[in-house]
Amino acid sequence: MFYAVWLEGQLVWNIPLLTGLICIAVLYGCLVTFYTNIKIYHKQPLLFFLCLGILYVTLGSPLSTLSHLSFSFHMMQMSILYFIIPPLFLLGIPESFPKILKGINKLFLPPLVALYTFAVLFLMYHLPIVLTFLSKNSFVHNGYLVLLFIMALSMWCPIVKDRNKPFALLSGLLLMPACILFIITGFIGGLNNPFLAQMTANLCISPSAISSLHILPPPFNTGLDQIMAGILMIVMHKFALILTVRFGKKVHVQEWGRMG
């Protein structure tokens, strides 16, 4: 199934990203050890390390190539990046970290503004003209994704810290148009996959490599693929909300119990 992760005969691993994430993990471990009463094996550090691990698998491992082969795999990657990783990251940050670390919050937009901005940018990202443009400009594309991630961190703060259910409901409603876009376009014939087109143009994977993979069955890269992508996004967002609220309760209870 995973022969698609081969690039001209070799597995692609993002070593610079792995190095950066290891440095972040070491820095986090030092801060937890010297500035909190939390042990590395407690729930919050484990959630943070899990966040880093999922981030690497999603962006830096050979499996990330699959996100270019179909819209459903692409939407799974996007959902993990913006619905799974941000709450795990925030849940892994202890309240007792130094105040200087909390000053990072000033770099973010207010949560409600971030939510509306994220919803608009996320919808625009999946418009055919925007998606095609970004697929041809890697620097702009990466900048766009980073901006989305920053907005995602801001919009998840009220859900993680305050377990704000009305805000969580609003987030689901505002993200619905992007899901509906995929579902509707799937029913009316579907969109061309610009990322797959770029790979066949030797920007990511050579045409010979693509033609020799044969890993995706007929439902993929069709109208059904896009319908699956829209439904997948709805399910994963709901799943992330449920897990965030449940983990949030346990994490805050345990942390305040240790501080008491």
pTM of model > 0.75 = yes
* 192 within domain boundaries: yes
Question: What residues make up the domain containing 151?
Answer: 12-259
**Side-chain half-sphere of 110: how many Cα atoms within 13 Å?**
3
Q: DSSP letters along 217-255, please?
A: -TTTTSHHHHHHHHHHHHHHHHHHHHHHHHHHHHHHHHH
The total of structural domains in the chain comes to 1
Q: Are 67 and 229 in contact (CB under 8 A)?
A: no
Average pLDDT over residues 239-245: 87
Q: How far does Cα 202 stand from its chain's mean position? A: 26
* 2 within domain boundaries: no
* 130 within domain boundaries: yes
Give per-residue pLDDT as tens, 2-40. 333 444 444 577 889 999 999 999 999 998 888 888 888
Q: Identify the pLDDT of residue 117.
A: 94
Report the mean per-residue pLDDT for the chain.
77
Tokens of 80: 């993990």
Confidence of residue 219 (pLDDT cuts 50, 70, 90): low
Between residues 16 and 67, the one the model is more confident about: 16
* 232 within domain boundaries: yes
Q: Identify the pLDDT of residue 85.
A: 95
* 191 within domain boundaries: yes
User: What span, in angstroms and rounded, lies between the C-alpha atoms of 134 and 142?
Assistant: 9
CA angle, residues 82, 88, 92, in degrees to nearest 5: 145
Q: Which residue has the tokens 């081969």?
A: 6
Tokens of 244: 């965030």
Write the burial class of residue 140 (CB in 10 Å: 0-12 exposed, 13-18 middle, 19+ buried). exposed
Q: Is the pLDDT of residue 127 over 50?
A: yes
Q: Identify the pLDDT of residue 89.
A: 92
* 245 within domain boundaries: yes
Write the burial class of residue 7 (CB in 10 Å: 0-12 exposed, 13-18 middle, 19+ buried). middle
Tokens of 67: 């996100």
Most confident of 53-67, 72-86, 187-201, 219-233: 72-86
Q: Identify the pLDDT of residue 103.
A: 60
Tokens of 197: 């087109």
DSSP label at residue 109 = P
Q: Is the pLDDT of residue 108 over 80?
A: no
Q: Identify the pLDDT of residue 19.
A: 94
Q: Identify the pLDDT of residue 21.
A: 95
Between residues 121 and 190, the one the model is more confident about: 121
* 117 within domain boundaries: yes
User: What span, in angstroms and rounded, lies between the C-alpha atoms of 193 and 172?
Assistant: 26
Q: Which residue has the tokens 């892994």?
A: 92
Contacts of 105 (CB under 8 A, 6+ apart): 157
Average pLDDT over residues 178-187: 81
Q: Are 63 and 57 in contact (CB under 8 A)?
A: yes
* 4 within domain boundaries: no
Q: Which of 107, 7, 90 is nearest to 51 (CA)?
A: 90
Q: Identify the pLDDT of residue 178.
A: 85
Confidence of residue 257 (pLDDT cuts 50, 70, 90): very low
Q: How far does Cα 120 stand from its chain's mean position? A: 16
